[in-house]
């Protein structure tokens, strides 16, 4: 990248920022608030990871997330099963597909 392209891009960015500040101050406030919230969240996460310790707490988090994933998977399976059973046409198509799958595996 050329240095002049970098400078022109910076100038265009500054002009755009000045335009927003003058024409739409509420948009600038909203973006500023959002960015400060993001920064606070980032610092809080970094501090909690730094002071939490890396040994048992991280393994506990992994175990709990694995349990949550299994629960989500089972609830999703039951939801799909309920949907299939509620529609007879869908049920027949599902049965055809599963029969084809079983014949291919054997």
pLDDT tens string 33-52:
888 888 888 888 888 887 77
Band (62; pLDDT cuts 50, 70, 90): low
pLDDT at position 64: 59
Band (70; pLDDT cuts 50, 70, 90): low
Q: Name the one residue in this structure whose structure tokens are 């393994």.
A: 59
What long-range pairs does 38-43 form, CB within 8 A, spacing at least 24?
A: none
The Cα 11–Cα 82 span in angstroms is: 59
Band (60; pLDDT cuts 50, 70, 90): low
Distance of CA 50 to the CA centre of its chain: 23
Maximum pairwise Cα distance, the chain:
72
């Amino acid at each position: 990248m050329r240095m002049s392209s970098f400078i022109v891009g910076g100038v265009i960015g500054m002009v755009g920022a000045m335009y927003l500040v003058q024409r739409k101050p509420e948009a600038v406030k909203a973006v500023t608030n959002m960015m400060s919230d993001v920064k606070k969240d980032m610092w809080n996460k970094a501090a909690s990871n730094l002071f939490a310790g890396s040994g048992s707490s991280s393994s506990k988090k992994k175990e709990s997330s694995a349990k949550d994933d299994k629960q989500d998977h089972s609830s999703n399976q039951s939801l799909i099963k309920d949907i299939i059973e509620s529609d007879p046409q869908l049920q027949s198509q599902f049965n055809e597909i599963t029969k084809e799958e079983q014949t291919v595996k054997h």
